[in-house]
């Protein structure tokens, strides 16, 4: 079994380092982030198997981050354990309401931390399993965040990845720009529909030889189709 990756979001270096050392000794792969912005960058780059999230952080609080990740379709299944110096019930409830899977009051023992991590991973295991989407020769791995076409690996930005993941999970169906905004960007954002066109263009550029799989359906929206490849000319340009 692969070593589970854990994103540790903690602004106190001594605590972060102690957690990381203990995780490493127990078969986990920790990544450290000291504040909300770097935590978001890490999450955008690769989905961890679990997040240990400190409540009190400079900038965005752990609570804000937990809410944001829970409302994003890409990150909503990643288990979160909140860490905090506060231990009273109101805070515990607020943390769980924000979507945290569990809650640990500092100071906690390594034993307790590992037990809670394992329990959360066990509970989440069915949804957390690796999903590889495959349409024709186009492959997308949700766990490693890798995309390849005809075994050539492709480089996609975070939005293009989410867009492709959605289109591949609902292939051969036509999606309007409004539907894509809703499903890929989330319904809390106010973005113009032409933003979708911009990202579709970027997605096609990133897909290279597989670009034709993303079809424009006049007056309706976009569709990802394996059939499109058989009618497209094999050479481009
Ligand atoms: Ca802190």
- Tens of pLDDT, residue by residue over 3-24, are 899 999 999 999 999 999 999 9
116 and 187 housed in the same domain = no
Q: Give residue 10 CA to ligand 1 midpoint distance, Å.
A: 6
pLDDT in tens, 56-95: 898 888 999 999 999 888 898 899 999 987 666 777 777 7
Q: For residue 55, which phi and psi values (nearest 5 degrees)?
A: -75, -55
By residue range, what is the domain housing residue 81? 5-124
Q: Give residue 199 CA to ligand 1 midpoint distance, Å.
A: 36
CATH code at position 219: 1.10.10.10
Mean pLDDT, rounded, of the chain: 87
Residue 237: inside a domain: no
Q: Give residue 214 CA to ligand 1 midpoint distance, Å.
A: 44
Residue 52: inside a domain: yes
Residue 30: inside a domain: yes
SS3 state of residue 65: helix
Q: Give residue 8 CA to ligand 1 midpoint distance, Å.
A: 12
Q: Give residue 160 CA to ligand 1 midpoint distance, Å.
A: 33
Please, which residues have CB less than 5 A from ligand 1, an ion?
A: 11, 54, 56
Which of 93, 124, 155 is the last residue in one of the domains?
124
173 and 71 housed in the same domain = no
Q: Is 87 exposed, middle or buried (0-12, 13-18, 19+ CB in 10 A)?
A: exposed
Residue 72: inside a domain: yes
**pLDDT value of residue 77:** 87
CATH code at position 59: 3.40.50.2300
91 and 164 housed in the same domain = no
Asked whether the predicted pLDDT for residue 237 surpasses 90, the reply is no
Q: Give residue 123 CA to ligand 1 midpoint distance, Å.
A: 27
Q: Give residue 110 CA to ligand 1 midpoint distance, Å.
A: 18
Which of 124, 156, 190 is the last residue in one of the domains?
124
**pLDDT value of residue 43:** 92
Residue 20: inside a domain: yes
Q: Give residue 75 CA to ligand 1 midpoint distance, Å.
A: 22
Residue 166: inside a domain: yes
**pLDDT value of residue 236:** 43
pLDDT in tens, 148-207: 999 999 999 988 999 999 999 888 999 999 889 888 886 545 678 888 999 999 999 999
Q: Give residue 112 CA to ligand 1 midpoint distance, Å.
A: 19
Q: Give residue 82 CA to ligand 1 midpoint distance, Å.
A: 11
184 and 115 housed in the same domain = no
**pLDDT value of residue 69:** 94
Which of 87, 107, 124 is the last residue in one of the domains?
124
Residue 211: inside a domain: yes
109 and 188 housed in the same domain = no
107 and 189 housed in the same domain = no
The neighbour count for residue 98, using CB atoms within 10 Å, is 21
Q: Give residue 12 CA to ligand 1 midpoint distance, Å.
A: 6
Alpha carbon distance 5, 79 (integer Å):
11
115 and 179 housed in the same domain = no
Q: For residue 170, which phi and psi values (nearest 5 degrees)?
A: -130, 55
Rounded to an integer, the average pLDDT of 210-235 is 81
98 and 136 housed in the same domain = no
Within the chain, where are the H helices? 13-25, 36-45, 62-71, 89-97, 110-128, 158-169, 177-180, 194-207, 227-231
3-class SS shares of the chain: helix, strand, coil, % to 5: 45, 20, 35
pLDDT in tens, 89-143: 777 777 777 888 888 888 889 999 999 999 888 877 654 455 788 999 999 998 7
14 and 103 housed in the same domain = yes
Q: Give residue 89 CA to ligand 1 midpoint distance, Å.
A: 19
Long-range contacts of 167-170 (CB under 8 A, 24+ apart): 167/214, 167/222, 167/223, 167/224, 168/133, 168/135, 168/138, 168/140, 168/224, 169/133, 170/224
Domains contained in the chain, number: 2
Q: Give residue 98 CA to ligand 1 midpoint distance, Å.
A: 18
Length of the chain: 237
Residue 167: inside a domain: yes
142 and 69 housed in the same domain = no
Cβ-contact 133, 139 below 8 angstroms: yes
């Amino acid at each position: 079994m692969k070593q589970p990756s854990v994103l540790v979001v903690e602004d106190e270096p001594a605590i972060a380092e102690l957690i990381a050392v203990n995780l490493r000794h127990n078969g986990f792969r920790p990544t450290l982030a000291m504040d909300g912005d770097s935590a978001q960058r890490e999450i955008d780059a690769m989905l961890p198997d679990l997040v240990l999230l400190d409540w009190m952080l400079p900038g965005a609080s752990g609570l804000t981050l937990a809410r944001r990740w829970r409302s994003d379709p890409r990150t909503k299944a990643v288990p979160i354990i909140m860490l905090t110096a506060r231990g009273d019930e109101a805070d515990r409830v607020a943390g769980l309401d924000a979507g945290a899977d569990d809650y640990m009051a500092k100071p906690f023992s390594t034993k307790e931390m590992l037990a809670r991590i394992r329990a959360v991973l066990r509970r989440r295991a069915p949804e957390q399993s690796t999903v590889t989407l495959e349409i024709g020769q186009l492959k997308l791995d949700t766990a490693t965040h890798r995309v390849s076409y005809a075994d050539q690996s492709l480089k996609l930005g975070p939005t293009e990845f989410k867009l492709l993941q959605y289109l591949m999970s609902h292939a051969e169906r036509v999606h309007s720009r409004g539907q894509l905004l809703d499903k890929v960007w989330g319904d809390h954002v106010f973005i113009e529909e032409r933003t979708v066109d911009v990202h579709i263009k970027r997605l096609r550029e990133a897909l290279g030889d597989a670009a034709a799989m993303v079809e424009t359906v006049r007056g309706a929206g976009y569709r990802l189709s394996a059939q499109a490849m058989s009618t497209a000319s094999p050479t481009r340009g």
